[in-house]
Amino acid sequence: MKADEIRRMAAEQNAVILAHNYQRPEVQDIADVVGDSLELAIKAKETTADVIVFCGVDFMAETAKILNPGKRVLLPVREATCPLAEALTPEMVREARSRHPGAAVVLYVNSTAECKAEADITCTSANAVGVVRSLEEEEILFGPDANLGCYVQRMVPEKRIIPLPPGGHCPVHQRFSLDDVKQGRERGDAVVCHPECPPEVQQASDLIASTGGMVREAGGHPRWTVLTDAAMTYRLSREFPGGVFHPVEGAECEDMKLTTIDDVLHALRTGEYNVEVDADIAARARRAIERMIAIRR
């Protein structure tokens, strides 16, 4: 069986398989750790494995490589990217900084290594509020997700969040609407949404959480409509077998679904695709990521 072969090869190579909560169920099943961006970044920093197979999208594997320059980090599908991360360029960050010289730059981990190298600190959806609260600066350039920026602004009203770029969003989460919330309620569900959803959806939901936060908090209610990638409902059903979790049809991050267990097997057999980050960029990005990890949540 392919799953047995993957486990055997991973043990032989001292490889750890990390998978994001949006990965296909069969990929989640063969992983050593399934988690949100923050949990996986922490795991990548702490692992004693020689090889990290990152089942997710490129910025996640890049983050793992930046934290472990001496380890081999494999991204099984090279084309697995994140359109939100690609909406921001380092030039845009530098230009915004020159217009707001007193502001701190907080970048969501869903950004390129080149952008992270320009940041003061990174954040994930699990710790964005804590990261912003930890800063002395009152003005915060925050990007590239403006909806997450709105969420942070509501939670930390004493700061001034300046979105970078204005209107940056994830195409998967931007599509959720008040209608999805209404349909959930009509089924008798509580509604949980990811903070990448539009502000009006956040405000109408019962819970706003990172994908890891959903795992931690979904035990509090027996039925949920889950406003994020549909694969999250597989993860939640595994954690809470008695719970009922409704996805929204068609809510899928295509990039997250590119990786199959054949690709994981291929990565272990061939060492493809080896993630490389320029040493100077990695050193600058590492400071911003490690500063975030020191804060955790």
- Interface residue list for ligand 13P (CB under 6 A): 21, 36-37, 110, 124-126, 170, 194, 196, 210-211
Task: Let me know how long the chain is.
Answer: 297
Q: How far is the CB of 125 from ligand 13P (least distance, A)?
A: 4
Q: How far is the CB of 59 from ligand 13P (least distance, A)?
A: 9
- The pair phi, psi for residue 83, each rounded to 5°, is -60, -30
CB-wise, 109 or 264, nearer to ligand SF4? 109
Q: Which long-range contacts (CB under 8 A, 24 or more apart) does 94-98 make?
A: 94/118, 96/141, 96/162, 96/164, 97/141
CB-wise, 82 or 191, nearer to ligand SF4? 82
The one of ligand 13P, ligand SF4, none whose footprint includes residue 58, by CB under 5 to 8 A per kind, is: none
The region of 79-87, 98-106, 203-211, 230-238 touching ligand SF4 under the rule CB under 6 A is: 79-87
Dihedral sign computed on CA atoms, order 80, 233, 228, 110: negative
Among 39, 189, 229, 263, the residue binding ligand SF4 under the rule CB under 6 A is: 229
The one of ligand SF4, ligand 13P, none whose footprint includes residue 36, by CB under 5 to 8 A per kind, is: ligand 13P
Return the residues of window 148-187 that contact ligand SF4 according to CB under 6 A: 170, 172
Residue ranges of alpha helices (H) inside 189-272 are 199-204, 211-217, 232-239, 261-270
Q: How far is the CB of 212 from ligand SF4 (least distance, A)?
A: 13
Q: How far is the CB of 254 from ligand 13P (least distance, A)?
A: 12
168, amino acid identity: G
Tokens of 229: 């990638």
How far is the CA of 126 from the CAs of 87, 168, 259, in angstroms?
A: 21, 19, 24
| First-residue to last-residue Cα distance in the chain | 39
As a whole number of angstroms, the distance between CA 74 and CA 123 comes to: 23
Q: Is 110 in the site for ligand SF4 (CB under 6 A)?
A: yes
